[in-house]
Structure 1
């Protein structure tokens, strides 16, 4: 995945590309590699499950920074908020969306949500563009207010690091091709955006089809902020697997089709999820607790669209 991401950008950086079709082909190929790095390398590394050696996880976690995002912010958003408060409105940052999107029945509904199942794909595609520009800064500031980055000088240092990594990313992914590739600037920028559109669509579909589907639950805290079920039952009820028998697809997306196992055991590397799923499903059946799974990814995707439509209407 790292090769798939970096090699096309290296070719673009040499200035050897002069045809528009090759320009777009290389950027789009890099986009698939970027998605693969995010799902199959960075994700495990930041969870501390890629390797038994913390130093390996630390440095492979920086691949998040190399694709334009930030590992420190992601660790809070994903490891802490998403995995602790899965599908809880205002708690899980994966479903905390701008006003024109509604991912939870507990979120406020506006008239525009009636059409979100149609226009959602544009915003999924643009999601990583937002990520590499403003979202990390906005979230870092919000997380500081939640009690993170609270040591003296820690927030300022984090902002400088976020900005520095992003400048480095833009320098080799966009600025160098702008200098070296003998094609119009607008065309190179458009090809760069197409790379991110591919990445955004890929990552969004993989993650959202595991939680925002019709048979998952969206628990609402009581007046004291307490959720009725314990954490394990909460994860089982708010998370769904898909395509458990598709080995190639599972490899392609870093085992994230086994989201149930990932949420129960985030410190275990994804290469073990397939075997682990047999134990988890059997245990869930034994204790008569939910174990949600869709037979194929397309079934999960269609159900996600159905859920978006439902959320837009009531």
Structure 2
């Protein structure tokens, strides 16, 4: 890999929209602590929901239809707990005290992954540099899929809009058993390890988390239930498949639609927009006015608000988004909100276009 030049943003001017936006949000929205408490209540509710569905597997799992039902519900609750509670905790947005948010992040080890690495990848690379090639590692994940216009084109990409439709249901399995190991041990395009060193203890935690995750999700049901091993394993696979289907909706609906821009910093890394303007350019909302979607996906439906106010609880975002929309109109800044179905469809349109091997997208000249 060539030497990476860190992107830097233009300093805000005296009429910067974000300064005014921050002040208004602070005065009109963030003062209501009841909205923050809703996030704490929701966090514990989702945690108990996950525990309840797992307990139901052990109690009712000898009846095969209920075994599959509760594994599937466990998968849904796993994703909801991750998207809502863990994601907010990673930004310090659930509890008042930092140490409480950090402790809650260990729920990711409970799911078999590594919270330290995820936090660094998400907070140090994705949030400061969304949609910027070589920096936003949440988007660049595998050679199987070509998202960035300047990524290497491989022959298989012409079919990516077809095979990714089949592979996305395996997203969590890929995350736990392929991508985590690539991030820890891989050398090709490993931008995480290029800018930071992974502490040795995290390697031990990675393996311990995966062993423990498989033990309680597969091993204990095998020991307790009177079910063939393949039925339990199939239920576990259904947990990941249905959980992935829910999670992928959020993951592909916020930055990578058919009109997405992928700004390329100049050689010196100095961007011609401010940090807040960049967030507005590359981030989209979906189903922001849908109460069920807001409950399921937390800060992802109001993702523009999340990127502008990442350290704020997602329960505040429905109150912040109307203010953002007003400033976007006043300052002629982009703001897009799709229905979830349209957002997902738009992502696959992008995959089809990017699979043609042509640079079809404007980079968003900065």
Residue 144 of structure 1: CA displacement?
Answer: 6.6
Residues 1:312 and 2:360 are matched in the alignment: no
Instruction: Give, in whole Å, the separation in 2 of the partners of 1:143 and 1:136.
Output: 14
Taking structure 1 as the reference length, the TM-score comes to 0.92
Residue 67 of structure 1: CA displacement?
Answer: 1.5
Contact 2:121 2:192 in 1 (8 A): no
Aligned residue for 1:76? 120
Aligned residue for 1:145? 193
Aligned residue for 1:297? 340
Contact 2:249 2:340 in 1 (8 A): no
Aligned residue for 2:131? 87
Contact 1:236 1:292 in 2 (8 A): no
Instruction: Give, in whole Å, the separation in 1 of the partners of 2:325 and 2:136.
Output: 25
Residue 105 of structure 1: CA displacement?
Answer: 1.6
Residues 1:13 and 2:39 are matched in the alignment: no
The residue correspondences of 1:215-230 to structure 2 (distance < 5 A) are 215-230=259-274
The residue correspondences of 1:86-235 to structure 2 (distance < 5 A) are 86-141=130-185, 142=190, 145-149=193-197, 155-235=199-279
Taking structure 2 as the reference length, the TM-score comes to 0.79
Residue 4 of structure 1: CA displacement?
Answer: 3.0
Between stretches 124-133 and 168-177, larger displacement belongs to 124-133
Of residues 282, 295, 314 in structure 2, which corresponds to 1:270? 314
Aligned residue for 2:293? 249
The structure with the larger Rg is 2
Contact 1:97 1:103 in 2 (8 A): no
Aligned length: 308
Change (3 A) 1:97 1:135: closer
Aligned residue for 2:34? none
Instruction: Give, in whole Å, the separation in 1 of the partners of 2:178 and 2:195.
Output: 21
Instruction: Give, in whole Å, the separation in 2 of the partners of 1:114 and 1:138.
Output: 24
Q: Runs of 5+ in structure 1 lacking a partner?
A: none
Instruction: Give, in whole Å, the separation in 2 of the partners of 1:143 and 1:111.
Output: 24
Contact 1:143 1:149 in 2 (8 A): no
Aligned residue for 1:63? 107
Deviations 1:119-167 (A, max 9, x none): 21332221211222242233134467324236xxxx2211111222222
Residues 1:47 and 2:91 are matched in the alignment: yes
Contact 1:4 1:32 in 2 (8 A): no
Instruction: Give, in whole Å, the separation in 2 of the partners of 1:81 and 1:173.
Output: 31
Instruction: Give, in whole Å, the separation in 1 of the partners of 2:293 and 2:232.
Output: 31
